Chain A
């Protein structure tokens, strides 16, 4: 029923909203109600998480309180806002729950929508802040975001808006852009602008930071291009080229999180939101690392993707340790040795053991055993990680150790198979 009034918001697996291209979070508030005093049919959105972004005002149901989600997550596009009312300063308002009211345009059939010409109505929506939130700070950010009109630069930009805004941009495509020459011209223009933005970006750090968003978009585009290119030319390219392309893709992929959760924007909800964002982020590196990855590696990758908004190791650890409370597909695991890793919940040791077993049963390994670095190389994981796997396999009785001047090696465990009554096999 919420969909009647407000557009729904897509959520990631860990409960973070999916942002539009170029959209950045500005502020997060907890325990916020959404209501409309004049419209009695307006559903009551009770005590949810409010996220202010440069493009939208997102309202997410509180996952902790309501296991059965009666409401879906909804959004108010900032573009639809006509006016934000200043709060009335009176003695009464000092003691009452802080409220922020704003006017939005509504289409004739009652939907909140933007850019409606004549014939549109309007509606006042009230935000009721029940939590301990800084109402004034939020209001000033709200104003800032609304006045910033970030959504407009998005829609008019020629490089952006392929997937989501493609439909609206497509409508105004002119004849000049048609045909092969049009495509070529467009390509040329794109290259020029790309070149320009690259040059500008490296002029100084401030410029780089302001360009970060564009750089991320550029990286994403280049990746897609490489991806499609390699699909077409698979037969023609040799392995080396494919390898370098793959590498290039990996680099680009690790460039950026467009809207990193920061202490500034999230406040008290910082660790919780960081945790969710991290859960979304680790999916790809985890997949590549075979379902388990060292905490240190993730720390580096995550901070690299965040660019300038670095987090401390302690923040990372806290973000990981509160995964237990959410329904996310990843978990933090501590080995007996104290090494901490992130792994998929579906990750099974059995699978790893099977691979290790096939490794140590090779004729060479039967004679000389395997070291942690051998295993790391063959399994394609970090040596420290490989050692943990080997030690776990040893504790399960699959392997046994050999410590000699040559080093620490593992062999398949034959002890259980030796018959004490017939040792001369």
Chain B
């Protein structure tokens, strides 16, 4: 079985047509579906949040069969993720794509579980602490993208589960949980 780092690649990764955008509708639908799942899987295991279309991305080429996805194909597959709400373009030029391998709602649930597990129901934490503190180690929250985290926190704030306030330092914000 071929591997990309510690990520197990599926058999069809060695199937050359997998790397050519298929023109026939039925075939293309299936191809897009397979790519969507592979991208999400890969990003989840590797904790990748942003894919740059113009940068090297290990998943988009297979040196074993000497195939690389064209820009058009990358755009098509990511666009399919965006239309399902599993990704978002970060700029109008479609150069960077934010991958939501958990939806914002799922991230919010993650945060709630994390808070409950650690008995932090009425505590105060900084945003940076949630991302990189010792408490979050071993959870999906550890090392997560700040933009995604802020969106999840705002969703919870909207639901009245916490309050966000300006911290002491200018670039950090604090969170007061009230679950």
**Chain A residues within 8 Å of B, Cβ to Cβ:** 369, 394-395, 397, 400-406, 409, 411, 413-416, 418, 420, 423-425
Contact = CB atoms under 8 A, between A and B. Distances in A.
B16 interface: yes
A414 B8 CA distance: 20
19 contacts: A369-B17, A394-B24, A400-B17, A400-B20, A402-B16, A402-B17, A403-B20, A411-B16, A413-B17, A414-B17, A415-B17, A415-B22, A416-B26, A420-B34, A423-B10, A423-B12, A424-B8, A424-B11, A425-B10
B63 to A, nearest CB: 13
B30 interface: yes
A214 B66 CA distance: 62
Given A400-B17, A404-B67, A424-B1, A418 B12 contact: yes
Contacts of B26: 397, 416
A411 B17 contact: yes
A409 to B, nearest CB: 7
B30 A418 contact: yes
A423 B26 CA distance: 19
B119 interface: no
A420 B10 CA distance: 10
B20 A415 contact: no
Given A400-B17, A411-B16, A420-B37, A395 B11 contact: no
Given A411-B15, A414-B15, A423-B37, A401 B20 contact: yes
Interface in B46-77: 66-67
A360 to B, nearest CB: 11
Nearest to A421: B37
B30 A415 contact: yes
Nearest to A395: B24
Interface size on B, as a range, is 20 to 34
A369 B31 CA distance: 18
Contacts of A395: 24
Interface in B1-40: 1, 8, 10-12, 15-17, 19-20, 22-24, 26-27, 30-31, 33-34, 37-38
A230 to B, nearest CB: 46
A416 B34 CA distance: 11
Contacts, number: 66
Nearest to A425: B11
Contacts of B11: 423-425
A371 to B, nearest CB: 12
Given A415-B34, A424-B1, A401 B22 contact: yes
Interface of B: 1, 8, 10-12, 15-17, 19-20, 22-24, 26-27, 30-31, 33-34, 37-38, 66-67
B17 A401 contact: yes
B34 A402 contact: no
Contact of A404 (B1, B37, B66): B66
A253 to B, nearest CB: 41
A423 B34 CA distance: 9
Given A414-B12, A418-B12, 13 more contacts: A400-B24, A404-B16, A404-B67, A411-B16, A411-B17, A413-B27, A415-B22, A415-B27, A415-B31, A418-B30, A420-B33, A424-B10, A425-B10
What are the 6 A-B residue pairs with the smallest beta carbon separation, nearest first?
A: A423-B10, A402-B16, A415-B30, A400-B17, A402-B17, A403-B20
Contact of B16 (A409, A418, A424): A409
Nearest to A416: B30
A296 B15 CA distance: 37
A369 B67 CA distance: 14
A87 B24 CA distance: 70
Contact of B34 (A394, A397, A413, A418): A418
A409 B1 CA distance: 25
A425 B10 CA distance: 8
A169 B22 CA distance: 69
Contacts of B8: 424
A363 B66 CA distance: 20
Contacts of B34: 415, 418, 420, 423
Nearest to B15: A414
A381 B24 CA distance: 25
Contacts of B27: 397, 400, 413, 415-416
